[in-house]
Chains A and B, each alone.
Chain A
Amino acid sequence: MSVNAIQFLLIVLLSGFRALDQYSTQLFPFQHALMCWLVGIILGDPATGLIVGGTIQLMSMGALGLGGSSAPDYGMAGMVATVLACITGTGDVSVGLAVGVAVAMLYVQLDVLFKVYNSWVFSVVRKHAVAREYNKMLRSFFLSHLYLFLQGALPMALVLAFGQPVIDAILGFMPAWFTTGLNVAAGMLPITGFAMLLTFMPVNKFYAFLILGYVLSAYLKLPVLAIALLGAVVAVEYFQLKSNTTTAVAANGAAQNGDELEDE
């Protein structure tokens, strides 16, 4: 089947919105089956949309980009797969799915690029903040929204216009060292966040707790919640110990002045 102008526009807009929604408003986060169903409805084939969407939804289990990590974009994959399955119109969804998964992998790289792009957005925002141009600052935040909308919308327009050969061409064009390199960088880049964080904290005073956290994680393999709770134990004890000492010192000082000090 061929796609008419209204269908083309609706799907491109939906694809842009989905990419945006995943990071921004989260009205339908990770609800890939819903998006594929909507694409199917637009193309007049809701049944194919549901089948592709259901399959992608189940494939995507556990592929959550939590804590700033990059995960394959199964939402984009599902929509591309649905479009291809509906266009070919043979009822065979396997080709669409195969291309869809390739798209998901491709989008891991785009996600890394997006977060690097955001470093630039941040520098713009911060520049306006320093210059006290607050309205410009508030507007600059939406550069990120714009980028994500285009990241969802433009590739979808290409897929609708040229279909499957485009995907193969893009994948063939990227050299292996580049894709592997981006994957390696994705594993390494969270370091910048931690290092930045450490510059804010009293590392020289409490560096021992960095070692504690590392040992609990690296040698004892505890999950982060358990480590946080252990950290809380030390923090609570430290707080009580220190505040008792302060109270005692205050009590001594008060006693010298001949005042009574009651316990709180």
Chain B
Amino acid sequence: MSNFFKPADFKDFDEAPIPQPLPDGSYEPVLTKEDLKICSRRMWVMDTISYAYATQNAPCATFAAYYALRKIYGGDQDAFNTAILNQLDCVFNATPPVCGLLLGAGLALEDKGHLNGMQAENDLKIGLMGPLSGIGDVFIWVLPLTILGSIAGYMAMEGNPVGILLWLAIWMAVLAWRWQNYVQGYDMGAQLITGLADKISILTDAASILGLTVVGSLIYSAVAIYTPLTFTFGDVALPIQTGVLDAIFPNILSVIATVVVYRLIKKGVKLNWIILGMIVISCVCAAFGILGVAPAA
């Protein structure tokens, strides 16, 4: 068990060599299959447990990559510290059982480029986490839960646990796969950078385009700010949300709030204060009926 979550050949800073760049400025990749499997297992222990609104799942990804990064940067403590803080700060969220594919690909970029590969790694993660989750959520959660869950539920209501056991067996197969999925991700990432070395900044821009498109769509679809206020002129009632705001611009409150929060972060306001402020504003506005929960469509 000792090397289930930690590599057997782990070296501390003072024993590990300081990595030397190759003539072209890149580095000799050091991660082995075993190192990547350890990342997968560490990700499994974390999954999505560190989820916070600000950085989402980035801390889990950091915990998973810890020993891989230690191996990449060897005795170079400053570079390792930069890398670990980058992992913590780079917002990440994807369907946990499949996110190893993307995080493994990112590690491949960092393994080859070290700190120079970091920006490309971040952009790759941010750009592809939405699409990966779109596919992952369907194949890992929605489909199995709908199909296996209804079978298990119906059979259980009739007093038969076979459906439950069937679901359990299929899920164990998924678990066995996820315990090594960084390996496949790493291979994909390594292929991506071969022959692309000169074009990495263009690739970064292209990934940013993809990322911004997805973020733009999420500002509409994943944020819900609703006001139940209604103007009344005599007999005519005009609901502000559907009659005024949505007529100007759908979900305009979400856009305004996003711009405000973005500016606050840029100005250096601490995220925890922003979050606390949001909760206070929500409670106050809810108490006076200014904001509410949208009625189900």
- A residues with CB within 8 A of B: 20, 23-31, 33-34, 36-37, 46-47, 50-51, 53-55, 57-58, 60-61, 64, 66-69, 115-116, 118-123, 125-126, 129-130, 132, 134, 138, 141, 144-145, 148, 177-178, 180-185, 187-203, 205-207, 209-219, 222-225, 227-232, 234-236, 238-239, 242-243, 246, 264
Stretch at the interface among B104-112, B160-168, B183-191, B231-239: B160-168
Contacts of B264 in A (CB 8 A): 195
The total of interchain contacts (Cβ-Cβ below 8 angstroms) comes to: 368
Contacts of B266 in A (CB 8 A): 199
Total chain B interface residues with beta-carbon distance under 8 A = 117
Q: Give the contacting residue for B209; candidates A209, A215, A223, A246; CB below 8 A.
A: A209
For the complex of A and B, list the 3 residue pairs with the smallest distance between their C-beta atoms, beginning with the closest.
A213-B216, A181-B283, A54-B156
- Quick one: closest A residue to B259, CB to CB? A195
Q: Is the pair A68, B93 in contact by a Cβ cutoff of 8 Å?
A: yes
Q: Give the contacting residue for A30; candidates B149, B221, B283; CB below 8 A.
A: B149
Q: Is the pair A25, B47 in contact by a Cβ cutoff of 8 Å?
A: yes
Q: Is the pair B49, A23 in contact by a Cβ cutoff of 8 Å?
A: yes
- Quick one: closest A residue to B204, CB to CB? A202
Q: Is the pair A190, B77 in contact by a Cβ cutoff of 8 Å?
A: no
Contacts of A200 in B (CB 8 A): 89-91, 122, 126
Q: Is the pair A118, B195 in contact by a Cβ cutoff of 8 Å?
A: no
Stretch at the interface among B16-24, B30-38, B133-141: B133-141
- B residues with CB within 8 A of A: 44-56, 59, 62-63, 66, 77, 81, 84-85, 88-91, 93, 95-97, 122-123, 126-127, 130-131, 133-135, 137, 141-142, 145-146, 149-150, 152-161, 163-164, 167-168, 171, 175, 195, 198-199, 202-203, 205-226, 249-251, 254-255, 257-258, 261-262, 264-266, 271-272, 274-276, 278-279, 282-287, 291-294
Q: Is the pair B55, A122 in contact by a Cβ cutoff of 8 Å?
A: yes
**Known contacts A126-B88, A195-B261; is-contact A47 B52 (Cβ 8 Å):** no
Closest chain-B Cβ to A239's Cβ sits at a distance in Å of 4
CA distance A66 to B138 in the complex (A): 10
Q: Is the pair A190, B213 in contact by a Cβ cutoff of 8 Å?
A: no
Q: Give the contacting residue for B219; candidates A115, A194, A209, A234; CB below 8 A.
A: A194
Closest chain-A Cβ to B117's Cβ sits at a distance in Å of 16
Contacts of A187 in B (CB 8 A): 223-226, 293-294
Known: A26-B47, A50-B156, A184-B225. 12 other contacts (CB 8 A): A30-B145, A123-B272, A132-B77, A188-B224, A198-B215, A206-B209, A212-B213, A213-B217, A224-B221, A227-B217, A228-B210, A238-B209
Contacts of B158 in A (CB 8 A): 54
Q: Is the pair A206, B88 in contact by a Cβ cutoff of 8 Å?
A: no
CA distance A205 to B209 in the complex (A): 10
Q: Is the pair B279, A181 in contact by a Cβ cutoff of 8 Å?
A: yes
18 intermolecular pairs with C-beta atoms under 8 Å apart: A33-B164, A37-B161, A50-B160, A51-B157, A119-B275, A130-B81, A138-B63, A138-B66, A182-B282, A192-B271, A192-B275, A213-B213, A216-B216, A218-B250, A231-B214, A238-B202, A238-B209, A242-B206
